[in-house]
Amino acid sequence: MTNLAIIGTQWGDEGKGKVVDLLAEGADMVVRFQGGNNAGHTLVVGDETYALHLVPSGILHEEKTCVIGSGVVVDPAVLLGEIDALVARGVRVSPENLRVSEKAHVILPYHKLLDEARESRAKDGKIGTTGRGIGPAYEDKASRCGLRLGDLRDLDYFRSRAAGALDEKNCLLAGLYGLPPVGLEQIMTLAAGWRERLAPYLCDAARLVQRASEEKKNVLFEGAQGVQLDIDHGTYPYVTSSNPGAGAVAVGAGLPPRELHAVVGLVKAYTSRVGEGPFPTELSDRTGETIRAVGREYGTTTGRPRRCGWLDAVVVRAAVRLCGIGLLAVTKLDVLAGLPELKIAVAYELDGRRIDHVPASLKDFSRVRPVYESFEGFAAGEVAGAGDYRSLPKAAKKYLAALCRSVGAEEGLVSVGPERSQTIVLRKFF
């Protein structure tokens, strides 16, 4: 029995979908515990590609239970659309294998409108959000004017809460942003439709997770985004509004903290970032363009081109330290094939001093200069076809070993292509 979390160590987009899908094989339950449909987890099985935003990436294993915990913010329309799309493709999704926390907060139309309005007005202060209403929904949760999925069961209560929230939201929408107000009846029509379809999925998800743990099942906790987007520990304010770090498993899924047994850190073999904010190893040259093109680095959720750069071990080290990561799952190693030289930032230089951590001050972080170690490249084809660790080219092994040494974790898995079969598993995870 193991309760295992998979956490993004960078700025998200490390390839969680594939790795969660793969490890779900050995799990009984797969749980999302934070974030919302700002996430985009891609799974490739044969000729089929699935892009999931809310439904846990274990869903293709139909006998597993997938859970959306209370720490997730749920746009019901997106969730229902995702369920319908999966069912239309022959994937079994029903209240038997998908359970949703009654305590999860609802993303309402005014959250999206506020997210977009703020971003378009912000000019210099733009965060580059996904525009999905994530921040405003978490704000309402914290300021205690949010609505929870369980509130849909009592539409009179839902109406009174929505009316209270709308008083303030419409002042902002109309008064500050010059947008038409959102009508209560519009919200209630949506709510009635959501209640009809979602009620069977709602449950006490925390208890479900606790029971699985008490019964010594294997539970996989699927992180979304990455540690540098963590609202406490990331590059604030260029972060998301939840905690992608491992600490959030306890809160967002309802698992007692001591029951989390292991944390796997997902590391893309290079770095990418969407949205604004400093990025010390960013490559604004042909190499960066090549990585973007070969790695198809365009947002699964928004389609935006991702900024690309060399692997930053300082960033990964921060995640290892914060989350107690023991094993790394390195993804997209194949994307680097063909580059003559590879680099890893093992430290930064700030005002002539060498530092091994990400500075809290954004100003300082914008000024750091990466201290690189250089590595020989490896040829295209040598990596994507490697069936086991031994057949990886020597140069690739050196690169991976240097990463592990620099961050203080061990290699657990290496992904060398999008297919399930293009994975080298070095350790037993469950």
- Residues in contact with ligand IMP by CB under 6 A are 11-13, 38-40, 127-130, 132, 134-135, 224-225, 229, 238, 240-241, 274-275
State the catalytic residue, choosing from 21, 41, 75, 115. Answer: 41
Name the CA dihedral angle for 163, 169, 172, 174, rounded to a multiple of 10 degrees: -60
Q: Tell me, rounded to whole angstroms, the distance of Cα 415 from its chain centroid.
A: 18
- Strand-strand pairing, 3-8 and 262-268: parallel
CB of 134 to ligand IMP, least distance (A): 4
Q: Which is nearer to ligand IMP, 65 or 272 (CB)?
A: 272
State the catalytic residue, choosing from 13, 140, 151, 312. Answer: 13
- Strand-strand pairing, 341-350 and 353-355: antiparallel
Is position 13 annotated as part of the catalytic site?
yes
Closest residue to ligand IMP, based on beta-carbon distance: 275
What are phi and psi for residue 306, nearest 5 degrees?
A: -90, 145
Q: Is 377:383 a contact under the CB 8 Å cutoff? A: no
160 Cβ contact list (under 8 Å, min separation 6): none
The stretches of 32-90 forming alpha helices (DSSP H) are 76-88
CB of 239 to ligand IMP, least distance (A): 6
Angle at alpha carbon of residue 316, lines to 312 and 318, rounded to 5°? 120
- Packing angle between helix 109-122 and helix 134-142, nearest 10 degrees? 110
For the record, the structure tokens of 265 come out as: 């850190």
Is position 151 annotated as part of the catalytic site?
no
Q: Which is nearer to ligand IMP, 33 or 378 (CB)?
A: 33
Q: What is the DSSP string of 358-380?
A: --S-HHHHHH-EEEEEEEE---T
Three-state secondary-structure class, residue 35: strand
Residue 192 CB neighbour total at 10 angstroms: 12
Query: Which residue in this structure is represented by tokens 């009846």?
Result: 185
Q: Could you list the active site residues? A: 13, 41
